[in-house]
């Protein structure tokens, strides 16, 4: 491709709406343009990257036994009503109505469609397992579309669905996908981690997320350096820390006056540390008001609470109903004398003589002890794990790191096959529900994640396997015939060898061309300048390394091939 003909409108300025590197660089380098919040056009360079990512995914899905198909984006309301999700999905679903006022969703995901499809055309165990996938746009009206392609409202996803005759079969399909995903991210040269993820309240389910590690990631990954344990923060288990159990004697409970003090931090001014405060939160769980207590400096993990309770709906109770039930407002609540079910975090078993609200405005208790002063309904793991907690597997100290969720695999069981009536006849002639799994990859998000992980002050540094082009040739002065001749001949030779190459034939200053080459992130740059040309040489530079190599003109193609074959060593 000649740069003079390539549509890549680069920008000098960093667009003000872009906060993270990938968003800034993909805009600046002319890869994407915004149409509306979370909706983007992919320009030619981006389209090439997407195609490479998609092809790697496709090859690995096919290798694992997947078959590609394509399902409609427009999905009828009836199917979503059958699964019960038309009402549950809420505002994240884009809905539209046809001329007969029939409702449709713009597909946010495809369980309803695929399960119906398979149900209609698969009757026998002989036709299973089936692994069907597509690569297609998805639509989700996200509350906060942001960070460019990271959280779009229209985005590209690969979604595969597995159908098996039994749970052993599902295990096999799940393992196949797990290794296929590893192969995919390995091939893309991305630095990632596989983490345990929440799979809801139903036991026996399993879920993993694939996280590309980057400081800008929206997810927190908790992992152990001593063993393989890694989980996202929603899932990461906290161990009861026996060794931090306080040895102090139980003291007598005391009521103290705390005028105007409402937060854990206010109590700190009395010389009470956050770790000695008991925080009381009020929730409405399927319309029942419950209390949750945990250490003052900890964050409640709502997913753990919801899973333990098996609640459909869980949200923080409003202050008026709390005051009605407890006699005090937020900030003065505590478990002592409370006539509600109390759920205590596991860590409280190790705490003695803590402070908490007295259920009376402007008063707190000190020297409160669980078991003596209040008895919880259950003591369970309810808080978010943090760095320094003990690994639930090997008890080493846990670490925390940020990640971008690029893939998610999930054992569904019979959730959708039951709802949509997808059954088959087994070898004994009995009718059974198909056992399902679903496996997503954020294709457009993966492109952004790759940039997030591979950039410097000058621009993007594409990993070779997904780079829009492998090589860019920059003749320093396009008006000099001998430079253009050398450039053209290398260009032709590389093309003949199947190497994807841009020739920057624009009549621009060399500095501008070098800057653009760096910005768009082409992994290998060949510079043809007057000095090296005199020696019948060209300069070859890897985008991810500092040094420039002088290579005889007749060796350039061989050198490039060698670099591509060796890949990027980081």
CB of 181 to ligand ATP, least distance (A): 10
Reading phi first (left if > 0) and then psi (alpha if -120 to 50, else beta), residue 442 is in: beta
Smallest separation, CB 150 to ligand ATP (Å): 6
Give the ranges where 332-480 is alpha helix by DSSP (H): 415-420, 443-453
Nearest approach in angstroms of CB 128 to ligand ATP is 24
In the complex with ligand ATP, the residue whose CB is nearer, 221 or 264, is 221
Which lies closer to ligand ATP via its Cβ, residue 201 or residue 510? 201
Identity of the residue, 268 or 303, whose beta carbon is nearer to ligand ATP in the bound complex: 303
Query: What pairs with residue 524 in β-bridges?
Result: 471, 542
Residues 257, 260, 265: CA angle, nearest 5 degrees: 95
Q: Please state, in angstroms and rounded to a whole number, the distance separating the CA atoms of residues 439 and 351.
A: 42
CA–CA dist 552, 457 (Å, integer): 30
Contact between 561 and 182 (Cβ < 8 Å) = no
Give whichever of 442 and 463 is closer to ligand ATP, judged by the CB atom: 442
Cβ proximity to ligand ATP, 107 vs 152, nearer residue: 152
- Asked if 407 contacts 442 with a C-beta cutoff of 8 angstroms, the reply is yes
Task: Please report how close the Cβ of residue 438 comes to ligand ATP at its closest, in angstroms.
Answer: 8
Nearer to ligand ATP (CB atom), residue 57 or residue 461: 57
**Euclidean distance between CA atoms 97 and 461, whole angstroms:** 44
What is the contact mask toward ligand ATP in residues 334 to 353, using x (rule: CB under 6 A)?
A: --------------------
3-state SS, residue 249:
coil
Q: Per CB under 6 A, which of residues 382..441 are in contact with ligand ATP?
A: 405-408, 440
- Point out which residues pair with 219 in neighbouring strands: 403
Buried b (16+ CB within 10 A) or exposed e, 57-68: bbebbeebebee
On the question of a cis peptide bond just before residue 483, with omega within 30 degrees of 0, the verdict is no
Q: Which is nearer to ligand ATP, 219 or 250 (CB)?
A: 219
Comparing CA positions, the residue from 9, 10, 14, 25 lying closest to residue 148 is 25
Residue 169 or residue 407: which is nearer to ligand ATP going by CB?
407
Contact with ligand ATP (CB under 6 A) among 295, 364, 445, 541: 445
Of 141 and 345, which CB lies nearer to ligand ATP in the complex structure? 141
The residue with its CB nearest to ligand ATP is 442
Residue in 355, 363, 356, 359 with CA at minimum distance from that of residue 340: 359
Q: Which residue has the tokens 């942001």?
A: 146
351 within 8 A of 251, measured Cβ to Cβ: no
**For residues 91 and 254, which CB has a smaller minimum distance to ligand ATP in the complex?**
91
Q: How far is the CB of 452 from ligand ATP (least distance, A)?
A: 13
How many chain residues interact with ligand ATP (CB under 6 A)? Answer: 15
Min separation Cβ 401 and ligand ATP, Å: 17
Question: Least distance (Å) from ligand ATP to the CB of residue 22?
Answer: 12
Q: Which of 180/563 has CB closer to ligand ATP?
A: 180
SS3 labels along 523-544: CEEEEECHHHHHCCEEEEEECC
Q: Name the minimum Å distance from CB 139 to ligand ATP.
A: 9
CB of 393 to ligand ATP, least distance (A): 25
Smallest gap from residue 568 Cβ to ligand ATP (A): 23
> Hey, what are 424's tokens?
């088959």
Binding residues among 91-110 for ligand ATP as defined by CB under 6 A: 109
The residue assigned the tokens 């400081």 is: 215
Comparing CB distances to ligand ATP, the nearer of 451 and 540 is: 451
Q: How many CA atoms lie within 13 A of 310 on its CB side?
A: 2
CB of residue 177 vs ligand ATP: minimum separation in angstroms? 13
- Can you spell out the DSSP letters for 110-176? -HHHHHHHHHHH--BGGG--EEEEEEEEEE---SS-BTTTTB-SEEEEEEEEEEESSHHHHHHHHHH
Torsion of CA 538, 542, 546, 547, to 10 degrees: -30
Of 112 and 518, the one with the shorter C-beta distance to ligand ATP is: 112
What is the rounded distance in angstroms from the CA atom of residue 236 to the CA atom of residue 211?
15
Quote the least distance from Cβ 217 to ligand ATP, whole Å: 10
Residues 6+ apart with CB under 8 A from 327: 359, 360
Smallest distance, ligand ATP to C-beta of residue 80, A = 15
Whole-number minimum distance, CB 28 to ligand ATP, in Å?
Answer: 20
Binding mask 284-313 for ligand ATP (x = CB under 6 A): ------------------------------
Distances (CA, A) of 529 to 100, 314, 335, 492, 532: 67, 67, 77, 18, 6
Whole-angstrom Cα distance, residue 493 to residue 366?
A: 81
Closest CB 135 distance from ligand ATP, rounded Å: 12
In the window 3-22, what residues touch ligand ATP (CB under 6 A)? none
x/- contact string, 253-272, with ligand ATP (CB under 6 A)?
--------------------
- CB closer to ligand ATP, 120 vs 143: 143
In the list 442, 465, 468, 475, the residue contacting ligand ATP (rule: CB under 6 A) is 442
Cβ proximity to ligand ATP: between 152 and 468 the closer is 152
Contact pattern for ligand ATP over residues 122 through 161, marking x by CB under 6 A: ------------------x-x--------xx--x-x----
Which residues contribute to the site for ligand ATP (CB under 6 A)? 109, 140, 142, 151-152, 155, 157, 405-408, 440, 442, 444-445
């Amino acid at each position: 491709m000649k740069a003079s003909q390539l549509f890549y409108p680069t920008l000098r300025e960093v667009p003000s709406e872009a906060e993270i590197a990938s968003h800034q660089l993909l805009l600046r380098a002319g890869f994407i343009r915004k149409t509306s919040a979370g909706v983007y056009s992919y320009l030619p360079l981006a389209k090439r990257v997407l195609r490479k990512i998609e092809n790697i995914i496709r090859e690995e899905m096919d290798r694992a036994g997947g078959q590609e198909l394509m399902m409609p984006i427009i999905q009828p309301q009836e199917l979503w009503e059958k699964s019960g999700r038309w009402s549950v999905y809420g505002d994240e679903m884009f809905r539209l109505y046809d001329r007969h006022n029939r409702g449709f969703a713009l597909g946010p995901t495809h369980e309803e469609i695929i399960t119906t499809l398979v149900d209609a055309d698969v009757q026998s165990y002989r036709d299973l397992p089936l692994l069907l996938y597509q690569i297609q746009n998805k639509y989700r009206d996200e509350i906060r579309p942001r960070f460019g392609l990271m959280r779009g409202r229209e985005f590209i996803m690969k979604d595969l669905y597995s159908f098996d005759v039994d749970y052993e079969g599902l295990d096999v399909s799940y393992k196949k996908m797990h290794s296929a995903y590893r192969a995919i991210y390995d091939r893309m040269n991305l630095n990632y981690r596989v983490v345990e993820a929440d799979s809801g309240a139903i036991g026996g389910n399993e879920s993993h997320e694939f996280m590309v590690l980057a400081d800008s990631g929206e997810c927190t990954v908790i992992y152990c350096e001593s063993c393989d344990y890694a989980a996202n923060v929603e899932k990461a288990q906290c161990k009861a820390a026996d060794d931090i159990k306080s040895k102090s004697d139980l003291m007598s409970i005391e009521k103290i006056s705390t005028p105007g003090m409402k937060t854990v931090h206010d109590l700190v001014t009395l010389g009470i540390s956050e770790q000695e405060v008991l925080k009381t939160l009020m929730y409405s769980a399927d319309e029942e008001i419950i209390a949750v207590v945990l250490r003052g400096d900890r964050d409640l993990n709502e997913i753990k609470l919801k899973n333990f309770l098996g609640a459909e709906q869980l949200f923080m109770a409003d202050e008026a109903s709390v005051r009605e039930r407890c006699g005090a407002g937020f900030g003065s609540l505590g478990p002592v004398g409370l006539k509600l079910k109390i759920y205590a975090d596991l860590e409280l078993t190790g705490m003695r003589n803590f402070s908490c609200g007295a259920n009376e405005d402007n008063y707190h208790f000190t020297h409160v002890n669980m078991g003596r002063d209040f008895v919880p309904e259950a003591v369970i793991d309810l808080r978010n794990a943090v760095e320094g907690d003990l690994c639930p597997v090997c008890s080493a100290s846990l670490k925390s790191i940020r990640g971008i969720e690029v893939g998610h695999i999930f054992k569904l069981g019979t959730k959708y096959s039951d709802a949509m009536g997808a059954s088959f006849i087994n070898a004994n002639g009995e009718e059974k529900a198909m056992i399902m799994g679903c496996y997503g990859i954020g294709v457009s998000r993966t492109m952004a994640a790759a940039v997030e992980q591979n950039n410097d002050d000058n621009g993007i540094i594409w990993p070779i396997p997904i780079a829009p082009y492998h090589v860019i040739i920059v003749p320093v002065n396009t008006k000099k015939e001998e430079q253009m001749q050398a450039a053209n001949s290398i260009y032709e030779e590389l093309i003949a060898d199947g190497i994807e190459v841009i020739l920057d034939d624009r009549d621009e200053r060399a500095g501008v061309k070098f800057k653009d080459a760096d910005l768009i992130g082409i992994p290998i740059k060949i510079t043809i300048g007057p000095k090296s040309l005199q020696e019948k040489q060209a300069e070859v530079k890897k985008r991810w390394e500092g040094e420039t190599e002088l290579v005889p003109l007749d060796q350039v193609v061989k050198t490039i091939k060698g670099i591509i074959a060796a890949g990027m060593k980081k």
